[in-house]
Amino acid sequence: MSGFLKLLFRNRLAAMGALVLMIILALILIAPLLPLQDPDVTATADRFKRPFADGHLLGTDHLGRDLLSRLLWGTRLSLAVGIAAALIAAAIGSAIGITAGYFGGRTDNIIMRGVDMLMAFPYILLALAIVAALGPGLMNALIAVAAVNVPFFARNIRGVTVGLAGREFIDAARLAGKGHMRIILTELLPNVLPVIIIAMSTTVGWMILETAGLSFLGLGSQPPQADLGSMLGEARSALISHPHTSIVPGIMIFLIVMSINLLGDGVRDALDPRLRSGALSRPRATTLVERTGDIPARTDDLLAIQDLHTEFHVGSRIYRAVGGVSLAVKPGECLGVIGESGSGKSVTALSVMGLVASPPGVITGGAVRFQGEDLIGAPYETLRRKRGDRVAYIFQDPLSTLHPLYTVGQQLAEAIQSHHKTSNTEARAHAIQLLSDVRIPNAAARADNYPHELSGGMRQRVGIAMALANEPDVIIADEPTTALDVTVQAQILSLLDDLRRDRGLAIIFITHDFGVVAQLCDRVAVMYAGRIVEEGQTQAVLDAPAHPYTRRLIACVPELGGGRRELAAIPGLPPLVDDLPPGCAFAPRCDKAQATCRTGEIALAGTAPRAVRCLYPEVTV
Ligand code: SF4
């Protein structure tokens, strides 16, 4: 809760809205204790007194009633009715939306057509018709305002529920034997609740206005009872001669609606996990660069990552995801990058083309040189021209990287046409050729399939085809075969191997799998806690690992036909990169750790191309 409040009040506008609303709420709550005059007592001799007149801070109305007193009591009523209407509309609308979305089919059709019919009426006419049928009065205005807003909640919540109802966790709940009501209450409701709260926070101000509108027309609160709408309605005839009688309730309505809307926006941001870090509120086309220190000199490598530092700044916390990584590849070379989840492999790869989301990502040091040109901090257009053309990516999860509404053929053609002037026919022919290159059977027909119509392995091959579309110089493959079965994995690895031999393609292959590294990579770099702890020729590292972490990683790999042996899991967990221990980050898990390992910087040392970051390596390098 304190985290939510901290996030909420980081948004200055939301904090201002909350402050104004709290002041208004405090005033109306203590209204019975304040020395106010009776809001309904008339004194015709005191009609239309101006603000700051004797005993009347905000003046009086056409019947001599004290405006301050009527304002505070009227605000109490308006807020109570608006909030009650929002709660009722949210409860009924959400129940309808969840039911329709969860059951789907005919239930959904019948319910939503009824909702559509209600939405087809202009809502204010509908509210007037309801009040006309029930009779004027504040309670009936509340019912009318709640009723006309039910379809809004039903539509919104139904949309969210439809997206959730087909997800695996709902299937798992069904398989566990849960009934419909339990699934709705324990699985769906907690997931849609933030949406309900957000919708409520942004509509409550609107409902206060609608209630005030009905009272303004004489259909809400009845004389002498005051609410903000009826105060405005009564002041209508004196708008020109005594404007303060309209301005006082008008300003109060403005303050309430503005403060609720600002607070509502803040609540929405604070509840949205993607907005918490500012990722959606201030999107940047490339990763933010705030480099300090010297920029490393150029080398003759095709792609060189030099002393790269990438951090995530979330509030006051700094996550050092990549802490001084240097890697390089030459044409036709394949470099494997291996390490546990969270070791910084993917962030290193994404930093190359400025693809780390900013905020919260910030590149704070080093350089990434492609053919000698430093890409860190390069203009967006420079990076855009190289992304997918000279440096291509194969991402881990093809379902989230392929667009669900376009066929794979269209997406491949788009990847080609974004970098080369090609006719649609040529682009399609090229797309089909690429699909056939990655060994998708019946490529011409498959080009017209949508991503959801393909199996996981096929989607991954489409991702690879897309990376190959423009014959790049470098491919960065981020665990591209993790989701594939071993036969497809072998085909893909052999395809990549052929490409690098035939076309001189350089590959940076990120993986957890030493088997894949052994099969494909010339060299390997082992990462731990955002740094390289060992690197060298693949065979040399596999034959004689120098870093205790590498040795233990290799020991975790089961060997086919190697007989029974205990698989030595590495105890403990990788350290949090916002709180790295001094000295060697692996020390808490290392069976060779000594006191000297826990102090000072440990440098990467050895004879090129072999290097290790350890004071007591397993072998001398
Ligand atoms: S420096 Fe020390 S703690 Fe770190 S890996 Fe080497 S022996 Fe283990």
DSSP conformational letter for 581: P
Which atom of ligand 1 is least distant from the CA of 548?
5
pLDDT bin (cut points 50, 70, 90) of residue 282 is low
Cis peptide preceding 548, ω within 30 of 0: no
Q: What is the pLDDT of residue 525?
A: 97
Longest CA–CA span in the chain (Å) reads: 106
> How far apart are the CA of 614 and the centre of ligand 1, in A?
5
pLDDT > 60? residue 265 = yes
DSSP assignment of 184-251: IIIIIHHHHHHHHHHHHHHHHHHHHHHHHHHHHTTSSS-TT---HHHHHHHHGGGTTT-THHHHHHHH
Question: What's the pLDDT tens digit per position in 329-348?
Answer: 999 999 999 998 889 999 99
Q: Could you tell me the two tokens for 343?
A: 């070791």
On average, the pLDDT of the chain sits at: 88
- By three-state DSSP, how is residue 534 classified? strand
pLDDT > 70? residue 456 = yes
* Cβ 392 vs Cβ 470: under 8 Å: yes
Which of 25, 19, 38 is closest to 80 using CA atoms?
25
15 close to ligand 1 (CB < 6 Angstrom):
no
Question: What's the pLDDT tens digit per position in 529-550?
Answer: 999 999 999 999 999 999 999 9
* Cβ 443 vs Cβ 429: under 8 Å: no
Q: What is the pLDDT of residue 483?
A: 66
235 close to ligand 1 (CB < 6 Angstrom):
no
Q: What is the pLDDT of residue 480?
A: 83
Q: Ligand 1: which residue has its CA nearest to atom 6?
A: 614
Give 3-state DSSP helix, strand, coil % of the chain, rounded to 5. Answer: 50, 15, 35
> How far apart are the CA of 513 and the centre of ligand 1, in A?
23
> How far apart are the CA of 432 and the centre of ligand 1, in A?
51
> How far apart are the CA of 567 and the centre of ligand 1, in A?
21
Q: Under 8 Å CB-to-CB from 275, ≥6 apart: which residues?
A: 268, 269, 281
Between CA 257 and CA 265 the distance in angstroms is 12
593 close to ligand 1 (CB < 6 Angstrom):
yes
Which of 438, 376, 449, 390 is closest to 418 using CA atoms?
390
Q: What is the pLDDT of residue 211?
A: 86
614 close to ligand 1 (CB < 6 Angstrom):
yes
Q: Under 8 Å CB-to-CB from 233, ≥6 apart: which residues?
A: 215, 216, 217, 218
Amino acid sitting at position 221: S
Question: What's the pLDDT tens digit per position in 489-510?
Answer: 888 788 888 888 888 899 999 9
Across the strands, what pairs with 78?
none
575 close to ligand 1 (CB < 6 Angstrom):
no
Residue 92 CB-half CA count within 13 A: 16
Q: What is the pLDDT of residue 562?
A: 67
Q: What is the pLDDT of residue 323?
A: 92
597 close to ligand 1 (CB < 6 Angstrom):
yes
- By three-state DSSP, how is residue 619 classified? coil
592 close to ligand 1 (CB < 6 Angstrom):
yes
Between CA 274 and CA 272 the distance in angstroms is 5
Let me know if 446 is exposed, middle or buried by CB neighbors in 10 A (0-12, 13-18, 19+): buried
| Average pLDDT rounded to a whole number, residues 28-49 | 88
| Gyration radius (Cα) of the chain, Å | 33
* Cβ 511 vs Cβ 480: under 8 Å: no
pLDDT > 60? residue 278 = no
Pocket test for ligand 1, best of 597, 604, 620 (most atoms within 8 A of CB): 597
DSSP conformational letter for 183: I
pLDDT bin (cut points 50, 70, 90) of residue 268 is confident
254 close to ligand 1 (CB < 6 Angstrom):
no
Rounded to the nearest 5°, which phi and psi values hold at 451?
-55, -35
Give me the long-range contacts of 590-595 (CB less than 8 A, separation at least 24): 590/548, 590/549, 591/548, 592/548, 592/616
Question: What's the pLDDT tens digit per position in 601-610?
Answer: 899 998 888 9
Q: What is the pLDDT of residue 431?
A: 95
| Average pLDDT rounded to a whole number, residues 476-487 | 81
Question: What's the pLDDT tens digit per position in 217-240?
Answer: 888 878 888 888 889 888 888 888
Between CA 427 and CA 419 the distance in angstroms is 11
Which atom of ligand 1 is least distant from the CA of 549?
5
Q: What is the pLDDT of residue 236?
A: 84
> How far apart are the CA of 543 and the centre of ligand 1, in A?
20
Strands of 334-338's sheet in order across: 391-394, 474-478, 506-511, 334-338, 523-528, 531-537, 611-612
Between CA 570 and CA 589 the distance in angstroms is 7
How many C-beta atoms lie closer than 10 Å to residue 282's C-beta?
A: 10
Which of 91, 164, 160, 148 is closest to 115 using CA atoms?
148
Which of 214, 206, 222 is closest to 89 using CA atoms?
206
Residue with tokens 């031999």: 501
Q: What is the pLDDT of residue 281?
A: 53
Q: Under 8 Å CB-to-CB from 115, ≥6 apart: which residues?
A: 96, 100, 150, 151, 154, 155, 158
pTM to 2 decimals? 0.70
pLDDT bin (cut points 50, 70, 90) of residue 368 is very high
584 close to ligand 1 (CB < 6 Angstrom):
yes
616 close to ligand 1 (CB < 6 Angstrom):
yes
pLDDT bin (cut points 50, 70, 90) of residue 273 is low
Q: What is the pLDDT of residue 1?
A: 64
Q: What is the dihedral of CA 243, 245, 251, 252, to 10 degrees?
A: 180
| Average pLDDT rounded to a whole number, residues 42-63 | 87
Which atom of ligand 1 is least distant from the CA of 586?
4
> How far apart are the CA of 328 and the centre of ligand 1, in A?
25
pLDDT > 70? residue 280 = no
| Centroid of chain to Cα 482 | 24
Pocket test for ligand 1, best of 553, 586, 591 (most atoms within 8 A of CB): 586
pLDDT > 60? residue 296 = yes
pLDDT bin (cut points 50, 70, 90) of residue 283 is low
Between CA 182 and CA 193 the distance in angstroms is 15
pLDDT > 90? residue 267 = no
Residue with tokens 């530092």: 309
* Cβ 94 vs Cβ 196: under 8 Å: yes
Question: What's the pLDDT tens digit per position in 434-451?
Answer: 999 888 899 999 999 999
| Average pLDDT rounded to a whole number, residues 156-178 | 91
Which atom of ligand 1 is least distant from the CA of 594?
2
Between CA 225 and CA 556 the distance in angstroms is 78
Question: What's the pLDDT tens digit per position in 114-144?
Answer: 999 988 888 788 888 888 888 888 889 999 9
What is the percent of the chain with per-residue pLDDT over 90, rounded to a whole number? 51
Which atom of ligand 1 is least distant from the CA of 591?
8
DSSP assignment of 463-513: HHHHHHTT--SEEEEESTTTTS-HHHHHHHHHHHHHHHHHH--EEEEEES-
* Cβ 301 vs Cβ 352: under 8 Å: no
602 close to ligand 1 (CB < 6 Angstrom):
yes
220 close to ligand 1 (CB < 6 Angstrom):
no
pLDDT > 80? residue 397 = no
> How far apart are the CA of 586 and the centre of ligand 1, in A?
6
Q: What is the pLDDT of residue 6?
A: 77
Q: Sign (positive/negative) of CA torsion 596, 602, 603, 608?
A: positive
> How far apart are the CA of 368 and the centre of ligand 1, in A?
29
> How far apart are the CA of 296 and the centre of ligand 1, in A?
28
Rounded to the nearest 5°, which phi and psi values hold at 118?
-65, -40
